[in-house]
Structure 1
Amino acid sequence: MILNIDFVSDFVCPWCFLGKVRLERALTELQATRPELEPRVNWLPFLLNPDTPPQGEPYRAFLDAKFGGPIKAEAVLDNVRAAAAADGLQYAFERIQTRPNTLHAHRLMYRAQSIGQTQARIQMLGGALFAAHFQEGRDIGDKDTLADIAATCGERRDSVREWLDSSADTDKVQRMVAGVRKQGIEGVPFYILNRKLAVSGAQSAAVLGAALLQSLETGKPS
């Protein structure tokens, strides 16, 4: 049985990284009791800050301006760290120098899905993009960096780099971003389960698991 999950996220959203980890845990636990389920996670793009310059911007300056100074910004990061600790996820915010424009990262994910890569490869790419930004401090707005990440996920680096230099699928990704906004989605992570049930925020694996089960039952004849 196919279990469709639309995962709306941005690769510079720390809660989305946690949301991915918790979704994976929920799916693992669900498949332990429902091995016939075949999850298919479809990544949908969201731009937290569409006005981010193409070259990105200084990370800490952005955080300080957004949250009202370095003390408040660090408190926000501490909150994220604490929330993720129980799930075994660690962030290295101190390594991040640039807050990137993620349009090309979303293009890379769109490409992986549109050419029919396996679910395993697609989820590997998503995790690698999050990890590159939040744990390794790499600039995922940089095309060379993105090509390197794609290569670690089984792609041919030169082919990906050449593709990134083109404008391929840029308009499609931008239309998807606009379409997500038109659906009223204003925050991420956001999950659409079996096109029946919506869940907002980095909910626990238990909450996500219950929602996944509910989405399987919704619409069944009584």
Structure 2
Amino acid sequence: MKSLDIEITYDFICPWCWIGHSNLKNALKDAAPGLTAKLSYAPYELNPSMPRAGASRKEYRTAKFGSWARSQAMDADVTSAGRKLGLDFNYDRIDVTPNTRLAHRLLAYAQRVGDEKKTEALFEAIFSAYFSRGENIGTLEVLVQLAVAAGFEVQDVRDFLGSAQGEAEVVAKELEAQSLGVSAVPSVRVGDSRIGGAQPSAIFAAALRAALDVSSTKVGPTA
């Protein structure tokens, strides 16, 4: 059984991170049978100065892209791309662009104490809560509910998020990503290679095969 480390640098308000993650999972399932992939997640805040309470999405996006009409056109493109993968983007339900620091701290907690299946379930659940149901994933109560649904203990999650734990860890990982040249997300490290953007499954599959070939070469013959 071959194994491969894969690190996904992401932000929860990035729709292409959700789409890219889905493409990566399809590549792992269809193009790399017999591969044991260890997925890890590295935070990257696209809006590190966003108020903790978040901001009106319409006002924020209008200011960022010059008009609400342009933002809506971009949302339509994302919705179409997501639909092909079975991902529901319901932008009409989203009122707030959240600060994602608390959500990143929660995923750091999940990776620290949970198994990969729980972490994966939570990662997906946070994206779905925001993009499909329009929930404010910058709030404690929403995140606690998502964590419990993914299998984590409610009081442990509350205690963690109610403290300063994970804060320095998130900041350190973001600085590390920047030092490695990451300036946009998603960014996926497959073995020693880094892939930027929500690439199609075929691109990820090729990267997986190349990484496995390199891994086999490094191991070399045993006799």
**Taking structure 1 as the reference length, what is the TM-score of the superposition?**
0.94
User: Deviations 1:66-119 (Å, cap 9, x if unpaired)?
Assistant: 11111111111111112222222220111111111111111111111112x222
Q: How far apart, in 2, do the equivalents of 1:8 and 1:217 lie?
A: 24
SS across alignment from 1:218: helix
State, as a whole percentage, how many aligned pairs show the same letter.
30
One-letter code of the match for 1:63? R
SS across alignment from 2:42: strand
Q: How far apart, in 1, do the equivalents of 2:29 and 2:118 lie?
A: 17
Report the counterpart of residue 200 of structure 1 in structure 2: 196
8 Å Cα contact 1:147-1:158 kept in structure 2: no
> After superposition, where does 1:39-58 map in structure 2 within 5 Å?
39-58=37-56
Q: How far apart, in 1, do the equivalents of 2:68 and 2:53 lie?
A: 23
Q: CA deviation at 1:158?
A: 2.4
Does 2:161 correspond to 1:167? no
Q: Which segments of structure 1 move beyond 6 Å, counting only runs of 4 or more? A: none
Report the counterpart of residue 212 of structure 1 in structure 2: 208
User: Deviations 1:140-186 (Å, cap 9, x if unpaired)?
Assistant: 11011111110000112222112211001211111111111111100
One-letter code of the match for 1:131? S
Query: Which sections of structure 2, spanning at least 5 residues, go unmatched?
Result: none
Report the counterpart of residue 63 of structure 1 in structure 2: 61
Q: How far apart, in 2, do the equivalents of 1:58 and 1:162 lie?
A: 29
Q: How far apart, in 2, do the equivalents of 1:42 and 1:200 lie?
A: 16
| Count of aligned residue pairs for this structure pair | 217
8 Å Cα contact 1:6-1:41 kept in structure 2: yes
Report the counterpart of residue 129 of structure 1 in structure 2: 126
Report the counterpart of residue 154 of structure 1 in structure 2: 151
Report the counterpart of residue 11 of structure 1 in structure 2: 12
Query: Which sections of structure 1, spanning at least 5 residues, go unmatched?
Result: none
Which of 106, 109, 115 is residue 107 of structure 2 equivalent to? Answer: 109
One-letter code of the match for 1:212? L
Report the counterpart of residue 174 of structure 2 in structure 1: 177
Report the counterpart of residue 141 of structure 1 in structure 2: 138
8 Å Cα contact 1:59-1:99 kept in structure 2: yes
Q: How far apart, in 1, do the equivalents of 2:208 and 2:116 lie?
A: 18
